Amino acid sequence: MKKIIISGILILFSINFIFAQKAKRDIVLEDIWKYNTFRASTVSEIRSMKDGLHYTALEAGRTGQLIVRYEYATGKPVDTLVNSSSLIPKIDIGDYEFSDDESEVLMSTDEEQIYRRSSKANYYILNRKSISVNEVIPVSKNGKQQYATFSPDGKSVCFMRENNLFVKNISDGSEKAITTDGKWNFVINGACDWVYEEEFEFARAFYWNKDGSKIAFYRFDESKVKEYSFVEYDSLYPTNYTYKYPKAGEANSKVEIYIYDLKTEKTKKVDTGTAEDQYIPRIKWTQDPSTLCVFRMNRHQNELELLLANAETGGTTLMMKETDKCFIDIGDDLTFLEDKTHFIWSSDSDGYRHLYLYNMNGKLENQITKGKWDISAFYGVDEKNHTLYYQSAEVSPMERHVYSIGLDGKSKKCLTNKKGQDHAQFSGNYKYFINFHSDANTPDFITLNTSTGEQVRVLEDNASLKGILEGINLSPKEFFSFKTDDGVTLNGWMIKPPDFKSDKKYPVFMTVYGGPGANTVNDSWGGRDYFWHQMLAEKGYIVVSVDNRGTGYRGAEFRKCTYKELGKLETIDQIATAMYLKRQKYIDGERIGIEGWSYGGYMTALCMTKGADYFKAGISVAPVTNWRFYDSIYTERYLITPQENSSGYDDNSPINFADKLKGKYLLVHGMADDNVHFQNSVEFVTALVKANKQFDSFFYPGKNHGIYGGNTRLHLYNLMTDFILKNL
């Protein structure tokens, strides 16, 4: 009798175990793109206050938006600084910034996006010490403004409108035009042209000096830049949107730097030399309010000079020069120290990106960080304690960790110790940092830490999402590496089906980006595409991604080896990946597919043509198909001009290899893509038709490079999933 009972219990346990296993459900696309089932919680829009002990956050209240002040140490709210419902007039706050002394708040509302980093809005000023504390003052009543910014003394606001620069005197309410020659598609004052915004990654192009007495600004003369148009299907008769877009080898804007003096109301031009065909990728005021630093770079982007400009005369002197046999990447690490005699600089001149200490004469005093690994972010310097904070890939190209180090290059300390990736956000005085940690299979775990790395408290553990994931059929993302026939070691990740069996053969779906300096093989949380890849694994596919040569965080030689031949080595490496996978006993080598977006779409098109013997199916989303169609700054950085390097452009253009297509191919593009123009797909379609090659295509009217909005992403991923299931 006892044996029967025990057997019954065992049978019941087995049934329950099987039921529990089966209870785990599969992912559907609506989870990802409609219901946001797997959206991770985060900590965002936190602004450190000057004391470094408090921060503010913009939150939704019952009747409007609130700007709430919190205490770092406890996370408790201290007070509400602004309640939009009590403002006169009432506005919906989209964004905000404080004046340097934090007595005034500049708030934006009714924001309109322009390009990736640019927008315009109505701005209002709130004086927190005013008798009428709820009354807000419009920055201007003459139309929406761009990039409104307080002067350091809080007495003025500078902004750009309709390609001209203005300054508002807060005390008397007057508005003065600094420039008057701005005109759409001709001259821009105080904001970037399209290609600077996209490739040098900034949009506001004016800067206050330290005491608020002067404004340095860019002037772009676009008159010789050719125009690009795309159709907007927004009325009975469609209209054209036309803007200036310099393609590779074509004329760029003429860029000049000016300095406006608020006291004399006079503008002085900065001497940046006689060459017109050059770049000025950054300007930055030094600690001396009368000295501006100007970055001057040649068109090939392999020579960079730091010029010191006298704000009174506009005259310049050379402070430092850096050259490279390939190209120099521009970033925002330049930091002038308060001692007025030194600055921090980052460079990969020794083969890896590191931090350096220079004096103001341009003499190197100390290489602060050293080693065969790359700095991936510079967070800043605590001058009081002579300590720098940075992020690096020292442990692995797949990992990121946060470090501190002395200005003398000593006392280096790793402040984060979990496997995966860490990203830090420091408080104003570097007393605290918020750490965002994740790994390939775990969403963000967000903590508040002291500057020495000790955890103070947990801000977000994503326990709710983790609970949801326990009920989903997920497989771990696994990392691997292999050596190609060229002797190059490549890193990759793989997601296998949940019921994977080593004696069974599976089709492979490869996903690729592959562009210069950009990695897809990261030990960090992958967001929505992670779940799409998991969904494909549930349907029986092994999903793989590999970082080819030219990607980042393995030193300058690995990253720059594709110079003048974009696409060549990258395609060889992706083909080598397919060959490696084909040799694995659990892979069906006749069923390998590949997909990518933007540069990844370009890589996919090359793999489906030059690598046609290795891939059964491919999907290109918004691909470059000929680098002659892409913008000057990005393309020439890696290929120089087509006039000088025609083979570098033509030998790796999918258009020139359309006749080699064998497998099933899907081409997708947004018809209002201002970045990678729809022209790329049109020309590839023309070449495929000429070669009598059959393919599938889908084009999204009114959608830009991101192809999103409403049901668009859900539709796109349904389209791609159906294509994979049918053809792979």
- Which residues touch 221 (CB under 8 Å, ≥6 apart)? 186, 187, 253, 254, 255, 256
> Measured between alpha carbons, how far is 463 from 169 in angstroms, rounded to an integer?
50
> For residue 423, which of 404, 439, 405, 402 has the smallest C-alpha distance?
402
> Measured between alpha carbons, how far is 132 from 128 in angstroms, rounded to an integer?
9
> For residue 94, which of 79, 76, 113 has the smallest C-alpha distance?
113
> For residue 69, which of 94, 49, 99 has the smallest C-alpha distance?
49
Mark whether 401 is an active-site residue.
Answer: no
Structure tokens at 319: 């402070």
Mark whether 673 is an active-site residue.
Answer: yes
State CA 387 to chain mean position distance: 27
Handedness of CA 194, 197, 200, 201 (dihedral sign): negative
Helices (runs of H) and strands (runs of E) counted in the chain: 12, 44
Structure tokens at 162: 């309709």
Q: Which of 673, 674, 677, 681 is catalytic?
A: 673
Q: Is the peptide bond before 89 cis (omega within 30 degrees of 0)?
A: yes
Structure tokens at 378: 């510079």
What does the buried/exposed string (b/e) look like for 571-587 if buried means 16 or more CB atoms within 10 Å of the residue's CB?
bbbbbbbbbbbeebeeb
- Which residues touch 4 (CB under 8 Å, ≥6 apart)? none
Q: Are 322 and 330 in contact (CB under 8 A)?
A: no
Q: Which of 48, 524, 598, 620 is catalytic?
A: 598
Which stretches within 150-235 are classed as H helix? 194-199
Give the 3-state DSSP-derived string for 43-70, with helices as H, strands as E and coil as C.
CCCEEECCCCCEEEEEEECCCCEEEEEE
Q: Which of 342, 533, 669, 705 is catalytic?
A: 705
Active centre residues (catalytic): 598, 673, 705
